[in-house]
Amino acid sequence: MTAPRFVFTIAATDGAARTGTLALRRGTIRTPAFMPVGTAATVKAMRPAEVAASGADIILGNTYHLMLRPTAERIARLGGLHRFMGWAGPILTDSGGYQVMSLGALTKVTEEGVTFASHRDGSRHAVTPERSIEIQRLLGSDIVMAFDELVALPADRSAVEAAMQRSMRWAARSRAAFNAGGDHAANASLFGIQQGGLDEGMRATSATALRAIGFDGYAIGGLAVGEGQDAMFGVLDYACDQLPATAPRYLMGVGKPDDIVGAVLRGVDMFDCVLPTRSGRTGQAFTRAGPINLRNARFVEDERPLDADCPCPVCAAASRAYISHLVRSDEILGAMLMTEHNIWFYQTLMADLRAAIANGCVVAFAAAFLFRYRRDLDSASANE
């Protein structure tokens, strides 16, 4: 019997929060889920086996970066992204829209698509909904994202509305291009992306258009782009309910641990963010008592683990003092150990949230987690 292409099962709910599984051909994703970001066919400073050992069921690959180097065509010739990077589990590829807008120079948006200059060498490229889907097909991802237009906030209402309407037209083109994908379309899944900034009416219009097209899952896009946590939560208070309850909801590009906890309470199932890996490379470790900066002098003789409650291999073997030495000396091992710990921290948080939802105590869990995380975060900031 072959594995299912896509089956989303909600096993338990607690208020708006829900836990379950998303079964794909290459594996089952436990939700709520955090996807480590493998931008350029690697979760930076970690080997695939280490990522899997942390509890990650799925990773994210970046269409923009991979199309520039080594190119999607080359990856396809080498057997696809899974084989290329040695990751056997599911992969979600983003559409490239965010990076086009944030990294591409001299970007020009038309109804056809986007043209831009590469941030690497200035070469000119064009990405349309059809080309974005083609790249993701060449990569062989399990979850494909529709191509959309992102607007950083704050922005004029007219600009947000125009981008939302264009994104919905591009969503229909993405759906058609995906459906024409033969074997890949038969084995992969397509997510649409809701847009509309901070406007409830625009979000509703976007959700209605996406539901009419029909997708396997639905992402909430256009957040974590400068609006702040309170505004983001304000959108999530209604955006989740605008999307189908029977499909997974994916909040793109989020985020900090307290962002994730608040979003799970509002009904989000999937997350991704570069924060745990990027912070690991810059000396910041996430702990239940808030993030700590290992470059700070107060850690140079601290013999405690990064987080006494963390089950990761790093906390079992290395002291803050040793890791501080590595980080302050710019040793590669420092970035590796910090990143491994941070990925474990995020995956442990997701496991704790899943258990709390299943046991009907997620509100109490969230309150206790946030009380300690934010209290000690404020204390740590005062001592930095």
Confidence at residue 145, expressed as pLDDT on a 0 to 100 scale: 98
Residues 342, 291, single domain; the answer is yes
Residue 10 counted as domain residue: no
Could you tell me if 244 and 324 lie in one domain? no
Q: Is 166 exposed, middle or buried (0-12, 13-18, 19+ CB in 10 A)?
A: middle
The share of the chain scoring above pLDDT 70, in percent, equals: 95
Expressed as residue numbers, the domain containing 333 is 280-383
Pairing of strands 249-251, 27-31: unpaired
Residue 367 has pLDDT above 90, yes or no: yes
Residues 285 and 198 in one domain: no
pTM equals 0.96
Q: Active-site residue numbers?
A: 94, 272
Around Cβ 185, how many Cβ atoms within 10 Å? 17
Radius of gyration in angstroms for the set of CA atoms belonging to the chain, rounded to a whole number: 20
Q: What is the pLDDT averaged over residues 273-290?
A: 97
Q: What's residue 2's pLDDT?
A: 55
CATH of the domain at 216: 3.20.20.105
pLDDT score of 117: 87
The pLDDT value recorded for residue 1 is 44
From start to end of 128-263, where are the E strands? 143-145, 189-194, 217-220, 249-251
**Tally of domains within the chain:** 2
pLDDT surpasses 50 at 25: yes
Residues 49 and 132 both lie in one domain: yes
Q: Is residue 248 part of a domain?
A: yes
Tokens representing residue 327 in the block: 């980080």
Please say whether the beta carbons of 29 and 325 come within 8 A: no
Give the model confidence (pLDDT) of 223-275 as tens digits.
999 899 999 999 999 999 999 999 999 999 999 999 999 999 999 999 999 99
Distance in angstroms (rounded) separating the CA atoms of residues 245 and 258? 24
Q: Say if 4 falls within a structural domain.
A: no
* pLDDT the model gives residue 381: 47
